[in-house]
Structure 1
Amino acid sequence: LNIFDHSAIYVLIAGTYTPFTLLVLKGWVGWTIFGVSWGLALTGIVLKLFFTGKYDTISTIAYVLMGWLIIFAIKPLVNEMPFSGLMWLLAGGVFYTVGAILYSIKKLKYNHAIFHIFVLLGSFSHFMAVFFYILP
């Protein structure tokens, strides 16, 4: 089950990128970020299959770095998306990142539950950005 759980994180990240890359960025920038995000997701899933339970710290770092990949397209994103939508996107990224940091603190009591609270906040923020600022 851990393989599916951790693989789903890669799918969630790439899936969240999809509307931003194909509906907001468009063109070669959008397609490049789209391809890179899904390529990284597939690579991460394959690595999870063969190295289950190993390199957890590296996996957490990979999730966070993959999540911030959009920074390479920040200028066209700012030009194409309303400020409020950008703030929801940024808030989601911050929530996920803080959650990952807290999750990595193994001495923190209930770190996994706290992490999931931040995941819910991040997911909600990204939902708001997509639903209200991207979808027609």
Structure 2
Amino acid sequence: MALRLIRNISSSADLDKLKNERAGPGEAYRPTEVEHIANVVTHGVWVIPSLGAMIFMVYLATTSLHTTVAIIYGLALFALFSMSTAFHLVSYTGWLGDWRIFFHIGDRAIIYIFIASSYTPWLILKHFHSWAEEVLFVVWVMAVCGILYQYIFHERFKWVEIVLYLVIGVCPALVIADMKESSGIFELSLGGLTYVVGVFFFKSDGLIPFAHAIWHCFVFVGALFHYYAVCVHLLLSDQL
């Protein structure tokens, strides 16, 4: 597999040969072989570390509430990289081919869960002037609606998918600014900005070589900013 990848890259003087044509309306993007491998690797390498990250958060927890939010966020982090890797591996190898659509829907749906889980530690552990519990409820309701959309309208209205991701990801940030004590705002903002910029590449499949793999890298970097913020400004702050 590695030798075949090297041959493909070395024989491709034109970068356009490293990407497929743009997918049509209602069609799923079909990466080239090298893009497939890049998609698998860029999230696959974080599956085990993300599990270790969850265990470390649980280790840092000093209360039952800390443990609860650590598990919620940690499991979502692990599920994000695991489902993404599983889908891209199935797509590339053809293993469990009949389950490809299931994994594809799951890959997109888990993003909604991850967004909601990323806000959950802050909305539960931080002190707000108002609306934290209501926003937490709305975030998870929106995540469920996004998942239902994926199962009902998968690949039919792609612009709706992007709007839902951005609305769920950006709107709750308004109440985050209402925190009584603002530690962690910088890392949260930096992570959120990383995700938003990465959306450009998420929608550039078929236009930019390795666009989806680049999106994967933005996801990892954004998650790293948020993970650091949860550990330092939520789980460790009570111990200082």
TM-score normalised over the length of structure 2: 0.52
Deviations 1:69-100 (A, max 9, x none): 223214422x3231xx1111001101100111
Matches within 5 A, 1:79-94: 79-82=180-183, 85-94=184-193
Q: Hey, what's the Cα distance between the residues in 2 that align with 1:103 and 1:17?
A: 22
8 Å contact 2:135–2:172 — kept in the other structure? yes
Please state if 1:62 is matched with 2:164: yes
Determine the structure 2 residue equivalent to 1:116: 216
| Residue 29 to residue 105, structure 1, CA distance change in 2 (3 Å) | same
| Residue 2 to residue 54, structure 1, CA distance change in 2 (3 Å) | same
TM-score normalised over the length of structure 1: 0.89
Determine the structure 2 residue equivalent to 1:98: 197
Please state if 1:49 is matched with 2:148: no
Deviation at 1:26, TM superposition (A): 5.1
Q: Hey, what's the Cα distance between the residues in 2 that align with 1:134 and 1:51?
A: 37
Using the aligned pairs only, state the percent identity. 29
Q: Give the aligned residue type for 2:178.
A: P
Residue 76 of structure 1 aligns to a residue whose secondary structure is coil
Q: Hey, what's the Cα distance between the residues in 1 that align with 2:200 and 2:135?
A: 25
Aligned CA-pair RMSD: 1.6
Q: Hey, what's the Cα distance between the residues in 2 that align with 1:125 and 1:25?
A: 21
Deviation at 1:27, TM superposition (A): 7.2
Deviates more, 1:7-16 or 1:62-71: 62-71
Q: Give the aligned residue type for 1:50.
A: I
Q: Give the aligned residue type for 1:81.
A: S
Instruction: Extract unaligned runs of 5+ from structure 2.
Output: 1-102
Give the counterpart of 2:121 among 19, 35, 41.
19
Give the counterpart of 2:228 among 113, 118, 128.
128
Q: Hey, what's the Cα distance between the residues in 2 that align with 1:21 and 1:109?
A: 38
8 Å contact 1:40–1:66 — kept in the other structure? yes
Deviation at 1:6, TM superposition (A): 0.8
Q: How many pairs does the alignment contain?
A: 133
8 Å contact 1:24–1:81 — kept in the other structure? no
Deviations 1:10-43 (A, max 9, x none): 0000011101111114575111110111000001
8 Å contact 1:7–1:48 — kept in the other structure? yes
Residue 54 of structure 1 aligns to a residue whose secondary structure is coil
Instruction: Extract unaligned runs of 5+ from structure 1.
Output: none
8 Å contact 1:81–1:133 — kept in the other structure? no
8 Å contact 1:95–1:122 — kept in the other structure? yes
Deviation at 1:55, TM superposition (A): 1.4
Q: Hey, what's the Cα distance between the residues in 1 that align with 2:116 and 2:127?
A: 15
